[in-house]
Structure 1
Amino acid sequence: MKKPFFETRVPGALMLVPLAPVLAFQAWRTVRRTPRLAPAAGDEHGFLPGAAGPVFRVVVIGESTAAGVGASLHARALPGFLAETLRKRLRRSVAWSVTGESGATARRVATALVPAAVVPAVPGTEPVDRASADLVVVTVGINDLIRRRSLRSWTADITDLVDVLQTRFTDATLVLAGMPPVHRFPTLPRPLRHVLGARARTMDRIMADTARTGGALHVPVDEVMARDRRLFASDGFHPSPDGYRAWAEGLADAAAPAAPAPGGELTASQGE
Structure 2
Amino acid sequence: MMLTLYYRVLPLLLSPLLLIQALKVKASTLRLPEPKGVRHHQAAASQSDKTLSVLIIGDSAAAGVGASHQQQALSGAIATRLNQHFNLEWRLHARSGLATKGAFRWLDKLPEQHFDVVVISLGVNDIFSPISQRGWLRLQQQFLQQIQSRLQPQLVILTAVPPLEHFSALPQPLRYCMGLRAKLFNQGLMQQVKRNANVMLLAIPNENGQLSLAQDGFHPSEASYQIWAEAIASACKKHFNVAEINQYQKTA
Tell me the TM-score range normalised by the shorter chain: 0.7 to 0.9
Contact 2:4 2:184 in 1 (8 A): no
Residues 26-81 of structure 1, C-alpha deviations (whole Å, 9 max, x = no match) = 22222222111111222211233312313211110111112221223323211111
What letter is aligned with 1:65? A
Deviation at 1:115, TM superposition (A): 4.2
Give the Cα separation in 1 of the matches to 2:231 and 2:11: 34
Q: Which residue of 2 aligns with 1:127?
A: none
Cross-structure match for 1:248:
229
Aligned residue pair count = 244
Q: Output the amino acid matched with 1:153.
A: G
- Aligned pairs for 1:12-31 within 5 A: 12-31=7-26
DSSP-derived class of the 1:38 partner: coil
Residues 1:16 and 1:79: Cα distance change in structure 2 (over 3 Å): closer
2: distance between equivalents of 1:260 and 1:14?
A: 48
CA contact 1:56–1:94 (8 Å) conserved in 2: yes
Contiguous gaps of at least 5 residues in structure 2: none
Counterpart contact for 1:99–1:116, Cα < 8 Å:
no
Aligned twin of 1:187? 169
| Residue 97 of structure 1 pairs with residue 100 of structure 2 | no
Q: Deviations over 1:220-268 (max 9, x none)?
A: 222447625xx32111111122221111111222333162389839xxx
Structure 1 unaligned segments of length 5 or more: list them: 118-129, 266-272
Which residue in the other structure is 2:60 paired with? 64
In the TM superposition, what are the counterparts of 1:11-90 in structure 2 within 5 Å?
12-50=7-45, 51-88=47-84
Alignment partner of 1:232 is 2:226:
no
- The percentage of aligned residue pairs carrying the same residue is 27
1:157-176 equivalence runs, <5 A: 157-176=139-158
The residue type equivalent to 1:19 in the other structure is L
Q: Report the equivalent of 1:260.
A: 243
**Distance in 2 separating the partners of 1:9 and 1:53:** 49
Contact 1:219 1:254 in 2 (8 A): no
For the aligned residue pairs, the C-alpha RMSD in angstroms reads 2.6
Measure how far apart 1:12 and its partner are.
4.9
| Partner of residue 102, structure 2 | 108
Cα deviation, 1:162-216, whole Å, max 9, x if unaligned, reads 1101101214311111111111112112211110001001111222222221221
TM-score, reference length from structure 1:
0.80
State the one-letter code of the partner of 2:226. Answer: R
Correspondence for 1:220: 203
Return the match for 2:187 from 178, 183, 205: 205
Structure-1 separation of matches of 2:208 and 2:60: 18
1:88-136 residue CA offsets vs partner (Å, 9 max, x unmatched): 3xx222221100121111111112146438xxxxxxxxxxxx5331111
- Separation in structure 2 between the aligned mates of residue 226 and residue 139 of structure 1, nearest angstrom: 21
Letter of the aligned partner of 1:203 in structure 2? Answer: F
Query: In structure 2, how many angstroms separate the alpha carbons of the residues matched to 1:70 and 1:225?
Result: 21
- Evaluate the alpha carbon distance shift between residue 132 and residue 11 of structure 1 in structure 2; reply closer, same or farther with a 3 A threshold: closer
CA contact (8 A) 1:185 1:226 kept: no
The runs of 4+ residues in structure 1 deviating greater than 6 Å are none
Q: Matched residue of 1:60: which SS?
A: strand
Q: Distance in 1 between matches of 2:164 and 2:79?
A: 26
